[in-house]
Each structure stands twice: as structure tokens, then as C-alpha cells.
Amino acid sequence: MNRQPGGPAAGRQQIVVSGVGGQGVLFVTRLLADAAIRRGESVLTSETHGMAQRGGVVVSHLKAGVFASPLVRAGQADGLFVLKEENLSIHRGFVKSGGWILVNSVRVGEADGDETLHAIDADGLAHEVGNIQAANLILLGFALTRLGTPDQGGMLFCSVDDIRAALHQRMGERESVLWSSIAALDLGIFHGKR
């Protein structure tokens, strides 16, 4: 197994992505999984399909590095993406002490314990640029810069370039969708740097 040298985020990492049906929770999870493969990691994810996708709570798990089980246990996640703010109270229990939480919200909430909370109004930004489906990628772009990438010794196992490459791989044949996706990612990156 190839191991990337780097900060604490290199190697094994467990992430939970939470939202409701239709928000692109699975898409974000698969991009992160593609990114893990690009970095030479093994990866396992677990997705929600079926009736919950009709607007109900959707949660997916991602484990990069060597694991056997696709599920993240409560209190074990390095980080949590929350695409629907109302899910924060349901899923924050996944995050371990010292982990990070990224919320799609107009305000930064209170941390329960010693997690780090970051917030971005991804819905508002998505609405502003006229692409309401883009909130997931705006949040992801924001996370990539706010958390920092492995080369900088950051908290996330993959880099902006990994995600860009994953987007190209998934959407290479649909150019207009690809470019609006890249634009959404860049918008999040821009806000993450501010």
C-alpha cells in the first residue's frame, strides 16, 4: 500500500457526510472516495439508498486507509460534513474528540466538546450563483481550504487537486456540468481562504 507522507491526516481517515435526499450527499462521498484512490489509499464507503432519498435523512460514511468495515462508529469520525443544518444534532455523535465539523449554515454554532466547527452559507451562495444544486461542492471546496490538505500538514486526507481530478474523471464527457461543478468548488475554496 502506498502511503503519502505528511501531517496527521495522511493515511487512515474516517468521515461522515450528512444531509437530506436530493442534496448530493452520495456525490460528495464518491468524490472523496475517488480522491482517496488517487492518493493510493484503500477506501470503503457506505451509502443511503431507497426511500430515505425522498427528502429524508441521508448519511454516508467514508473510510480511507486500511479498514474492513464500511461503517464509522459513533465517536470515531475524524470529521463530519453537514449539508443540512438540522442534522447536526443527529450526527455530531459520530465525531471523535478533537475532530472537525463543517456545516452548511448562515452562522457558526456552538461546539459540544472540543471539536472544531466551521460554517459556510453554501445554500445562500448556491442561490446567488443560480445553481441551487451546487451547495455540496461549495461546502467541499470550503472544507478543502479551511481544513488544509495533507501537503500542508492539514486535517483532510486529500487536496483540491485530487478533488478537481475526481470531478474531471466523473464528468469529463459532460462539459457544461463539469465547469459549473468546478466553479462551485472554486467558490467554496475562495470563501475558505477568506
With b for 16 or more beta-carbon neighbours within 10 A and e for fewer, the 135-146 pattern comes to bbbbbbbbbbbb
CA atoms within 13 A on the CB side of 141: 24
CA distance 68 to 175: 36
To the nearest whole angstrom, how small is the minimum distance from the Cβ of residue 194 to other proteins?
25
Q: Which stretch in 40-48, 99-107, 174-182, 186-194 sits in contact with other proteins by CB under 8 A?
A: 40-48
- Under the binding rule (CB under 8 A), the answer on residue 138 touching other proteins is no
- Under the binding rule (CB under 8 A), the answer on residue 161 touching other proteins is no
Residues 29/60, Cβ–Cβ less than 8 Å: yes
- Under the binding rule (CB under 8 A), the answer on residue 124 touching other proteins is no
Residues 65-104 that bind other proteins (CB under 8 A): 67-75, 84, 86-87, 90-94
Q: Which is nearer to other proteins, 62 or 189 (CB)?
A: 62
- Under the binding rule (CB under 8 A), the answer on residue 21 touching other proteins is yes
The contact set with other proteins (CB under 8 A) reads 16, 20-21, 29-30, 33-34, 36-38, 40-57, 67-75, 84, 86-87, 90-94, 127, 132
